[in-house]
A = this chain, B = another copy of it.
């Protein structure tokens, strides 16, 4: 799934549905994160560096890194769901591979397997500084689709 969807954009309806939901997440706005790509089964979220998202040494906090990874995966799954459904994170696991530094972080959520009830995503977070991209975190996430009217 990964390769085909890398550049492709989701339909305008899906893009609007994802963006609207994202805009209702108080945390994402509070951190300063923004969605930069919404493709079928793939979503990118960027988080610029600033003191409000750091840990004790001035790097991005693992909690900030994980928050955008979790949201990128959740919305990647959501792009493939029917309109009257919603997405919840069941669980995720993330390895912090390198100090999370850079001008900004880019989290990429990619659907590995989309089932009727459960969806599994790969989570990747890159630290981007000028031309350089470093994989700083890698994870795996399980989502559940729930039927309910859009909030």
Interchain CA distance A64-B64 in the complex, whole Å: 8
Provide the bound-state CA to CA distance between A139 and B31, in Å. 23
Does A10 touch B at the CB level, under 8 Å? no
Interface residue total, chain A, C-beta cutoff 8 A: 52
**Across-interface contacts of A151 in B (CB, < 8 A):** 56-57
A52 touches B27 (CB 8 A): yes
A85 within 8 A of B: no
Within 8 A of B (CB), among A62-95: 62-64, 66-68, 70-71, 74, 88-95
Tell me the bound Cα distance from A21 to B93 in angstroms. 25
Copies in the complex: 4
Decide if A12 is an interface residue (CB 8 Å cutoff). Answer: no
State whether A94 touches B96 (Cβ < 8 A): no
Inter-chain CA distance A48–B122, complex, in Å, is: 28
Interface residue A25 (Cβ < 8 Å from any Cβ of B): yes
Binding site for B on A (CB under 8 A): 21-22, 24-31, 50-57, 61-64, 66-68, 70-71, 74, 88-98, 112-113, 117-118, 120, 122, 135, 138-140, 142, 144, 151
Interchain residue pairs with CB less than 8 A apart (9)? A25-B54, A26-B54, A30-B31, A62-B92, A63-B63, A67-B67, A97-B113, A117-B117, A139-B140
